[in-house]
Every structure is written in C-alpha cells, then in structure tokens.
Amino acid sequence: MAKKRPQTKAATAQLKDGPIPVVGAREPCPCGSGRRYKACHGRAAAHAVTELVQRPFEGLAGECDWVALRELVPAATAELTLKDGLPEGVPSVTLATVLPMAWPALRRDDGSVLLALQNDTSSGDLSRDLADTLRRALTAEPGNPVAAQRVPVDGPRLQDLLDPDADFKPVVHAGFEFWVPDAENASAEVNASLERANAAAIPTVLLSGSDAAYWCETPEKNHLRWVMPYDEEPLLDALARLHAAGTASLGEGTRLVGSFRAHGLTVPVWDLPSAMSAEECEKPAAEFAERLTAALGVNAPLTADERRARGGLTNRQVTLS
C-alpha cells in the first residue's frame, strides 16, 4: 500500500476572520493552510461561480440591446452612466462589443475607459465578471489594458454600478476604427488586429423604429434578428398564432425561420431577400410589432394549426448562451 502523505502544516496562522482574498488557482491559499487555493478556499469559490445566471442583464436599461451587443453585433459602442458619477480623471466609460487583442477593458491615455462585452468570462454570472473588470479599469493606469482575472463571488454586479434610469443607446459601427482615435500613433499589433476585425465584421444596422431589431447582410441573403423582452413561452405562442395565420413575415420574400435563445431572452430571426435594405425593414417591422402585441394578448388555447406552427418554431431554436 502506498504511504499516506503527511499533512502539511500551515507556515503561518490560518486566517479565521474576514474574507479570504481570491488568488490564482495554483497559488498558496491566503488562509495559511499551506494548500493551493484551488484545493482550499478556491474549491467553494469555483463551485459558486459556476452557477449560471440565466438573465445577467436583467434590470439594466436596454437589456435586449445588451444581449444583442453580446451575441449578434460585431462592432458597436454605448456610453455607460455610473450610479455614483465618474471618478476623477475618468472623462467617460464606454461599452464596446470587442477590443483589440481581446482585452477585457482599456484605460486610454486620456483616462477614458472602454469595457469589452464579448470576452470569455470566468464565472456563470456575466454581469459580475463585467462589473469586476469595470471597477479595475476605473483605477488602472492610463494607457493600459486590463487583464482578465478570477472574479470574487461576492463582488458587485453591473446592476450595482450602473444608473438604471440612464438611457442605453447603442451606436453600431461599420468597423472597429473606434479602437484607435489616433491611428497614426497606434502600434503595428493594434493596427493588424483592426484590419483582421474589419475583414470579419458582418455589416449590421440597428433599426431606428424598433427596439433591439438588427438587420445584417450576408453573402447569400440578409437577416433581421430581433431580441425581444417577453417571456419565452407566451412569445412562442404569439409567434405560432401569427405563423399559422400567415402574418409572421415581414413582407414578400421574407420568412420567419426560427429563433435564438440568448441570456434568458428569445431572438426571432427572419430571412430577407438580399436586395432588402435595413431602411426597407423599418415599416414592415413596425407593423409586425403591432400584430405581435395583439397576439400576445390572446389567451385562448392554441389551435391544431397553431400547435404545429409552434412545434416547428421550437425545433428551429438555437441556444447561443
């Protein structure tokens, strides 16, 4: 039989009062046990952060647009308003879909902060991860990116930091030039990252007359992807009623083809003719919104045709997150 390894005694007295700081998984646990963090207090922390928050942006102004910018839109920004106002030396805080070299955040030379939304996160609560990155960016040295790190399980969330009454107005960009306000002085690495990102970006437009409805252009056909604030089950019922009645399209040559699930919300998707521009979607989208509102107000059981339509829509759902 293999001999049991003797228990390693703590080099220092174990901390019994106050929170245990979060450190790297392979570092010694700050409690003084002599064990690695991942095998000590990090075990409970790792379990806590894996609990998935289904709607991380719930309660924020513009929840549907947060979901769209996280999952659907290549290049966009939105100004953020902090509950307690901007700290001294920080002229602005801007949410961005992505940043060069996949930086989680960037403190620019002028002190302004860019916070990236589409990065990988370490926990099951995207809101908490982003809040931690934002807090560190506010105090970072100007001219430096903010690195990713393990997030404390009891840290604040975006809902704790952002003003819930402030407007959230995304601005969709054709490319990522917002990365480099001074392109002539940007590093070769940043400029190369910019070129790669611009080449991969799908042209996308936010409809002006519909909340969180995004037109995009692909080589074969265009699409409308519309993040909706309604609970999934009544929304699918309403879409099924419209589909069965032949009123779920956005006009000739268009078709409701299914939906995405993303961060607790449903995103219906329409195929559009390649010649149909974002501007041409505005009127039919507004008319569809009126039909959908009416269908959401119907409480009668689904008919046989509506149940078949609902089954088809359900079978064409894709979960993004």
Angle at 145 between CA 141 and CA 146, to 5 degrees: 90
Alpha carbons 29 and 25: distance in angstroms, whole number? 9
What pLDDT does residue 6 have? 46
How many residues are given for the chain?
Answer: 321
pTM: 0.83
d(CA 210, CA 281) in angstroms, rounded, equals 10
What local confidence, expressed as pLDDT, does residue 81 receive? Answer: 98
| Degrees, nearest 5: CA angle 261-219-174 | 75
Q: Which amino acid is at 59?
A: G
pLDDT band, residue 34 (cuts 50/70/90): confident
107 three-state secondary structure: strand
More confident residue, 153 or 45: 153
SS3 (DSSP) at 18: coil
CA angle in degrees (0–180, nearest 5) for 56-289-215: 70
Q: What is the dihedral of CA 127, 130, 134, 137, to 10 degrees?
A: 170
pLDDT at 199 over 70: yes
Mapped onto helix, strand or coil, the DSSP state of residue 83 is coil
Helix (H) or strand (E) holding 258: strand 255-262
Run of H or E residues at 161:
helix 158-161
Instruction: Name residue, tokens 């010694």.
Output: 28
Sequence-ordered list of residues with C-beta below 8 angstroms from that of 191, at least 6 positions apart, any chain: 180, 183
The pLDDT tens digits of the residues spanning 267-305 come to 999 999 999 999 999 999 999 999 999 999 999 999 999
User: What 3-state class would DSSP assign to 136?
Assistant: helix
Side by side, the strands of the sheet bearing 93-96 are 144-146, 105-107, 113-116, 93-96, 76-79, 171-172
Q: Would you say residue 231 has pLDDT above 60?
A: yes
Asked if residues 50 and 212 have their Cβ atoms less than 8 Å apart, the reply is no
